[in-house]
C-alpha cells in the first residue's frame, strides 16, 4: 500500500533507512546492501530525493555519502510515517499562536537565569533561519543541554541553538549586529522576554 502511495518500493525502503537513522551517513553500495535493492534503482531514487531536498550528500574518503536532511520542510511528517517509533499526538503537543510547540517553551522556561528565548528555523513554520533557538542569559550549560536534548527527542531531529550572555546580546542588538539583525528580520517567535528588551528595541 505504501509502495503504491510513494510510487516505488526502493524509495519506501530508502525513506525507512534514512528516517530511522537521522545524523547517520551511508554510501551507495552500503545502501544497496542494507535495503537489498539493485544499485541502478538506488542511484535513481537517491537522485530524486536529493532533487526534492529529502536528503543531502557529502564526499569523504573519495566516497559520496547520503543522509536525511533534518531541516527538510516535511521531515517531521515523513518521520512519523517511516520511523520505527512514530511521533504521537502527545509528543507533538499543543502549539501557541505562532505555531510553536508549548512543550518546547515549557522546557526552555525551566532553565535558570533565562532572560530571553527566541524560536525560529525548523521550529517556526515559514522560517528559513539556520538557527532554531536563541537563548539569552548567563545559563548553566548542563541545564541548556538537557532542555535541548528533550526538544530534539520530541522533534526527532537535531536542533541548532545559540546561547549568548545578556550583556553580549544587548550590545549586539544595540549595534545592529548582522547575526542578531538577520534572526530578528526573519520569521521567528519570541517565547520568553522577561525584560521586554525586544519590545523596547522595536519602539526605538
pLDDT value of residue 190: 92
The whole-angstrom distance between residue 122's C-alpha and the CA centroid of its chain comes to 5
CATH number for the domain formed by residue range(s) 2-82:
1.10.10.10
Of residues 73, 71, 65, 79, the one with CA closest to residue 20: 79
pLDDT value of residue 68: 94
**Least confident span in 88-97, 126-135, 152-161, 186-195:** 88-97
Query: Residue 89: which pLDDT band, with cuts at 50, 70 and 90?
Result: very low
Q: Largest Cα–Cα distance of the chain, in whole Å?
A: 62
pLDDT tens digits, residue range 42-54?
A: 999 999 999 999 9
85 has a pLDDT exceeding 90: no
Contacts (Cβ under 8 Å, ≥6 apart) of 176: none
Query: For the whole prediction, is pTM greater than 0.85?
Result: no
pLDDT tens digits, residue range 126-172?
A: 888 999 999 999 999 999 999 999 998 888 889 999 999 999 999 99
Contacts (Cβ under 8 Å, ≥6 apart) of 170: 197
Q: What is the mean pLDDT of residues 93-103?
A: 70
Phi, psi of 65 (to 5 degrees): -105, 150
Q: What is the mean pLDDT of residues 71-85?
A: 82
Of residues 161, 160, 157, 145, the one with CA closest to residue 110: 145
pLDDT tens digits, residue range 12-67?
A: 899 989 998 888 999 999 999 999 999 999 999 999 999 999 999 999 888 899 99
Higher-confidence residue of 9 and 200: namely 9
115 has a pLDDT exceeding 80: yes
2 has a pLDDT exceeding 70: no
Amino acid at each position: 500500500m505504501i509502495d503504491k502511495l510513494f510510487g516505488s518500493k526502493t524509495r519506501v525502503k530508502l525513506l525507512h533507512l534514512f528516517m530511522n537513522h537521522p545524523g547517520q551517513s551511508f554510501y551507495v553500495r552500503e545502501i544497496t546492501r542494507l535495503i537489498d535493492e539493485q544499485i541502478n534503482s538506488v542511484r535513481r531514487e537517491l537522485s530524486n530525493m536529493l532533487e526534492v531536498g529529502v536528503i543531502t550528500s557529502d564526499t569523504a574518503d573519495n566516497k559520496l555519502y547520503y543522509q536525511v536532511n533534518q531541516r527538510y520542510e516535511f521531515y517531521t511528517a515523513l518521520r512519523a510515517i517511516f520511523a520505527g517509533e512514530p511521533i504521537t499526538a502527545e509528543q507533538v503537543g499543543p502549539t501557541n499562536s505562532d505555531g510553536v510547540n508549548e512543550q518546547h517553551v515549557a522546557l526552555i522556561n525551566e532553565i535558570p537565569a533565562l532572560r530571553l528565548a527566541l524560536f525560529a528555523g525548523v521550529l517556526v513554520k515559514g522560517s528559513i533561519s539556520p538557527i532554531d533557538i536563541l537563548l539569552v542569559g548567563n545559563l548553566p550549560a548542563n541545564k541548556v543541554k538537557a532542555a535541548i536534548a528533550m526538544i530534539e527527542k520530541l522533534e526527532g531531529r537535531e536542533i541548532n541553538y545559540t546561547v549568548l550572555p545578556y550583556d553580549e546580546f544587548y550590545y549586539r542588538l544595540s549595534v545592529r549586529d548582522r547575526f542578531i539583525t538577520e534572526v530578528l528580520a526573519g520569521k521567528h517567535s519570541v517565547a520568553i522576554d522577561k525584560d521586554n528588551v525586544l519590545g523596547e528595541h522595536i519602539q526605538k
